[in-house]
Structure 1
């Protein structure tokens, strides 16, 4: 059921136009059914079938069939009148940025009015546009119809199959590039990052300095300081030489706690100073002289990581390739 809602029709403030839509929908339905009937009437098989039911139907409809084009022009005149009326209203309301946009956006209305067999099919699109407009204002609810559910399901099947094939193709190309040693990473570094290396280094230095300032703050750096304190505490307690301090009478435990606090402050302040003192020049020197120097072991490790990425992409392809619509169809 379309679940027609008169309340929504009143609330839409588009009552007259939506009622016109309903009238046009009725006329389009009659016109299209008549076109189908008249097309079938041209075949000998269909006329023979009608004759077996009633010869008078064939005889009575023959003059109408011979003048079908003239009668269809009456429908076309109504459709064009409604089209130009909506165009004028669109110009008045400034619905589109330019007054002449309307016929281009609603091109199927004009094409469907051409009295040719090949163009009359576009009148179906006009039905869909009216149904969509009524559905948008919740005058009717297409989701309740079996036809809508059928079309929507197979639309999702089509989109899923198409998108899955595209994603799998893209991932396969990525795997081939990785296996062939694609220069993409080098191209990104040379064409993008290297040209803006000064900006990237300045940004990195600013971010690291900001992190250092946050760690130096009593409130923001509390978690970091606690982490350092816990790590230093474990290291101190596991150190045999420091453990001998406990043997010192009275002050042994105090010395151990003091040592933990001192080392914690030294480590924390060292990290803070390191981050705050990093200038763009130092970051640039680090990038130029450190990141570009890889030994054979590091290069082999990089190749292994590329293999890991390739295997991950293969797993993603297998999951993407699953046809979920079959599982959904099996539920029904």
Structure 2
């Protein structure tokens, strides 16, 4: 159902332009119907039908048909005049960044003014542009109309089918590159990570220092210190040599608790110092001398990573290939069946 809002028309301050749109819409419908009639008039079958209805109609319209281009030029002049008026208004309002953008954005209006059979089809797009402007200012509401829902559904179907095939094609090409021995891991390491290594090491160093300061803080690091204390206490109590201290009367238990607390403090402070002392230079040295040395097993691991990536891409392709519009279509049919019953 098409809802017309007169209040939105007044509040939009676009009254003259809306009236112009409605006028152009009327002329477009008349022109398109006339184009259809004139095209059918050129066929012998349609003439036979008209002759059975009224022979005089054929005689009266034949001169118009022979000079139809001249009649169509009258509409073309009106359409071109309206196009120029809107162009000037767009320049005055600075609707677009450059004054010459208007004819490129509204190319269908310009091409539709060409009085040739192939170009006249673009006049249909003028109708859609007019309805779009009316919908934009909320003067009409097409969302509840059957035509709008029908068009939106099949538009979504078209976009989903096209986008799915494009995504699957891109992922398939990526899989082919990986299967052909594409040095993906090396490229990521050299072109992505290596160029940003100073920033990454600085960031990692800052994170480490922040963690160390958090552990050192009386409140923030309490959970970490408690965990270290439990771990050290468990290790101390499980140590055979320390357990012999319990043999000493009175002092054995005290020595064990003191030793446990001392080891806990030493371990906690060592972790704090280790984290706070990590600098970007030390991380660079670790990456260069530690991570930079790869063995044959490491290269085999790289291949396994590429296989994992390939399998992930295959799963993504399967997920993308699912035609969700069919589920939507089925749900719509089910809802319609429920409402009918």
TM-score bin (small chain): 0.7 to 0.9
Q: Return the alpha-carbon distance in structure 2 between the equivalents of residues 184 and 298 of structure 1.
A: 15
Question: 1:287: Cα distance to partner?
Answer: 0.8
* 1:151 partnered with 2:151: yes
Within a 5 Å distance, the mapping from 1:205-244 to structure 2 comes to 205-236=205-236, 239=239
Which residue does 2:96 correspond to in 1?
A: 96
Q: Deviations over 1:240-298 (max 9, x none)?
A: 66566667666766655555543333222222211211222221111111102233444
Which residue does 1:76 correspond to in 2?
A: 76
Q: Return the alpha-carbon distance in structure 2 between the equivalents of residues 321 and 311 of structure 1.
A: 15
Q: Return the alpha-carbon distance in structure 2 between the equivalents of residues 7 and 240 of structure 1.
A: 90
Which residue does 2:130 correspond to in 1?
A: 130
Question: 1:54: Cα distance to partner?
Answer: 2.5
Q: Residue 285 and residue 6 in structure 1: after superposition, are their counterparts in 2 closer, same or farther (change >3 A)?
A: same
Within a 5 Å distance, the mapping from 1:154-165 to structure 2 comes to 154-165=154-165
Q: Deviations over 1:73-128 (max 9, x none)?
A: 22222222222222222222122222232222222222211222221111111111
Moved more, 300-309 or 138-147: 300-309
Report the TM-score, using the length of structure 2 for normalisation: 0.85
Question: 1:163: Cα distance to partner?
Answer: 1.8
Moved more, 164-173 or 244-253: 244-253
Q: Residue 80 and residue 166 in structure 1: after superposition, are their counterparts in 2 closer, same or farther (change >3 A)?
A: closer
Question: 1:185: Cα distance to partner?
Answer: 2.4
Alpha carbons 2:90, 2:96 under 8 Å: kept: yes
Alpha carbons 2:87, 2:102 under 8 Å: kept: yes
> What is the number of equivalent residue pairs in this alignment?
332
Which residue does 2:337 correspond to in 1?
A: none
Moved more, 52-61 or 270-279: 52-61
Unpaired runs of 5+ residues, structure 1, are: none
Question: 1:48: Cα distance to partner?
Answer: 0.9
Q: Residue 128 and residue 290 in structure 1: after superposition, are their counterparts in 2 closer, same or farther (change >3 A)?
A: same
Q: Residue 123 and residue 297 in structure 1: after superposition, are their counterparts in 2 closer, same or farther (change >3 A)?
A: same
Q: Return the alpha-carbon distance in structure 2 between the equivalents of residues 310 and 102 of structure 1.
A: 46
Matched position secondary structure for 2:2: coil
Q: Return the alpha-carbon distance in structure 1 between the equivalents of residues 145 and 246 of structure 2.
A: 83
Question: 1:324: Cα distance to partner?
Answer: 1.4
Unpaired runs of 5+ residues, structure 2, are: 334-341
Question: 1:20: Cα distance to partner?
Answer: 1.5
Which residue does 2:336 correspond to in 1?
A: none
Report the TM-score, using the length of structure 1 for normalisation: 0.88
Which residue does 1:314 correspond to in 2?
A: 314
Question: 1:42: Cα distance to partner?
Answer: 0.7
Q: Residue 171 and residue 266 in structure 1: after superposition, are their counterparts in 2 closer, same or farther (change >3 A)?
A: farther
* 1:62 partnered with 2:78: no
Q: Residue 7 and residue 27 in structure 1: after superposition, are their counterparts in 2 closer, same or farther (change >3 A)?
A: same
Q: Return the alpha-carbon distance in structure 1 between the equivalents of residues 33 and 253 of structure 2.
A: 99
Question: 1:29: Cα distance to partner?
Answer: 1.1
Question: 1:34: Cα distance to partner?
Answer: 1.0
Question: 1:47: Cα distance to partner?
Answer: 1.1
Within a 5 Å distance, the mapping from 1:172-187 to structure 2 comes to 172-187=172-187
Q: Deviations over 1:37-68 (max 9, x none)?
A: 11111111111112222323323322332332
Alignment RMSD:
2.7
Q: Residue 240 and residue 88 in structure 1: after superposition, are their counterparts in 2 closer, same or farther (change >3 A)?
A: same
Q: Return the alpha-carbon distance in structure 2 between the equivalents of residues 234 and 15 of structure 1.
A: 83
Moved more, 37-46 or 233-242: 233-242
Q: Residue 182 and residue 245 in structure 1: after superposition, are their counterparts in 2 closer, same or farther (change >3 A)?
A: farther
Question: 1:131: Cα distance to partner?
Answer: 0.9
Moved more, 314-323 or 174-183: 174-183
Matched position secondary structure for 2:138: coil
Q: Return the alpha-carbon distance in structure 2 between the equivalents of residues 248 and 205 of structure 1.
A: 47
Which residue does 1:139 correspond to in 2?
A: 139
